[in-house]
Amino acid sequence: MTPTSLPVAVIGGGPVGLAAAAHLLERGLEPVVLEAGDAPAAAVRAWGHVRMFSPWRFNTDAAAVRLLHSAGWSAPDPGHHPTGDELVRDYLAPLAAHPTVAPRLRLGARVVGVSRRHHDLQRDGTREDAPFVLQVAASAGGVEEVEARAVLDCSGTWGTPNPVGAHGLPAPGERGGRVAYRIPDPLGRDRADYAGRRVLVIGAGHSAMNVVEALAALAEEAPGTAVAWAFRRPLAAANFGGGRDDGLAARGALGARARALVEEGRVRAFAPFLVRRLSDAPDGAVRVEGLLDGRPHAAEVDRVVGATGFRPDLAPLAELRLSLDPAVQATPALAPLIDPNLHSCGTVRPHGEAELRHPAEPGFYIAGMKAYGRAPTFLMATGHEQVRSIAAHLAGDADAARRVELVLPETGVCSGSKPKAAVEAAAGGACRGPAVEPAAVAAVVAGSSCCTPASAATAAVPATPQGTCCAPKVELPADADAPCCA
């Protein structure tokens, strides 16, 4: 076995990475947290102006809270919706500064490679007995190697946004600084860049909705500001969320407001629009060419915002034997639960170590946003549950690793070939009512892409009781199949 005297390496000092450290410390394990930024939670600071649609009670981790309370910390109002800046100021910064965490947190430490000592990807040998080796590049220069008994990659996906090009590749001309990715602040620090400008926002998720809403508000204040919104799918297929049925009221309200902006004509929608090329236009503008509803179309705008989601950076993990779904880039057990090709359930049932393990690389885990690969709808509370389960497993507490300690809010949207209500009725409310016969579950699955059968979710890995796409989750025996729910 890997020497237990080595620490557990946690890649990323953001919300999930710091929560992982708290759980490891509580379990008597020694973490070393490697944060690429020069301050804790550097990625969160980058979207500090954005107000979260989940209130405080979904944004703090239980072990982290216990640690903070030991130092006299006062918890924020659990019903308040913090901004990213408030999340850092009132929770993550105090957690990173806690006397048991701070000595184990290294800033300006970017992990550029992970492998096994004296083992490349191809070599078998005594692979499972070899410790992990992490190559760490310091912001001041130089690379050093850190050995670890286990690795939790909680580095997130903020640094690798999806391109706006139609093929999953950057469109010709995209990489020339013509696209601003992520979530700009047009009502604050970026106001001068967007006021009085023609802006095209590309993307259909919550990030895009936040940007479009802020730009529409700017247009009310700054004459000449015009907002266009490009969707890759037909507008009728756009997912604006569950509205009043969303368990997170702020998330449902955001989607409802975004839909209203389009319906009221305050934002011009291009749908379906596929970007093929970007180029310079007169007076510093950008020409965006593509296909609008299958026909060639071009628009000249002053600014382009890419809000098309994120993807994991797997390059540092190239020497590890990962088990990843080829489409979603999540583990084979997790991928069917979050794959938008199978369903559009925004709610994913809690899952843990069993779903996140890589059988050929024991001791290595991807947790947090990066665990979702290219799939959307990640909630911070999901990451907290992931690292709680992983820490329990590493400490030898199999029961705690299996136990589910999280109930996630419903999204109010679950589209497939059958409406959600019909699926619930057919399944007998599997997540909230009595158990159903396996044959009945299979019949429901066959008629609705919203559900993932337990057999499909676990075909490539050992069967686990965590199963499908909704919450709350009932506790099941270890050898039970998970029922499917809408």
Predicted model pTM: 0.84
Same CATH fold assignment for domains 8-159+310-402 and 180-306: yes
Q: Please tell me the predicted confidence (pLDDT) of residue 68.
A: 98
Superfamily of domain 180-306 in the CATH hierarchy: FAD/NAD(P)-binding domain (3.50.50.60)
Q: Say what the pLDDT of residue 416 is.
A: 42
Q: State residue 268's pLDDT score.
A: 96
Per run of 10 residues, the mean pLDDT along the chain (length 486 residues) is 82 98 98 97 96 92 97 95 97 98 98 96 90 94 96 97 96 94 94 97 93 96 97 87 73 89 95 97 96 96 96 98 96 91 66 96 97 90 96 97 80 45 34 31 30 37 38 38 33
What is the 3-state secondary structure of the chain?
CCCCCCCEEEECCCHHHHHHHHHHHHCCCCEEEECCCCCCCHHHHHCCCCECCCCHHHCCCHHHHHHHHCCCCCCCCCCCCCEHHHHHHHHHHHHHHCCCCHHHEECCEEEEEEEECCECCCCCCCHHHCCEEEEEEECCCCEEEEEECEEEECCCCCCCECCCECCCCCCCCCCCCCCEECCCCCCCCCHHHHCCCEEEEECCCHHHHHHHHHHHHHHHHCCCCEEEEECCCCHHHCCCCCHHHCCCHHHHHHHHHHHHHHHCCCCEEECCEEEEEEEECHHHCEEEEEEECCEEEEEEECEEEECCCECCCCHHHCCCCCCCCCCCCCCCCCHHHHCCCCCCCCCCCCCCHHHHECCCCCCEEECHHHHHCCCCCCCHHHHHHHHHHHHHHHCCCHHHHHCCCCCCCCCCCCCCCCCHHHHHHHHCCCCCCCCCCHHHHHHHHHHCCCCCCHHHHCCCCCCCCCCCCCCCCCCCCCCCCCCCCC
Per-domain residue ranges for the chain?
8-159+310-402, 180-306
Fold of 8-159+310-402: FAD/NAD(P)-binding domain (3.50.50)
pLDDT of residue 346: 53
pLDDT at 19: 98
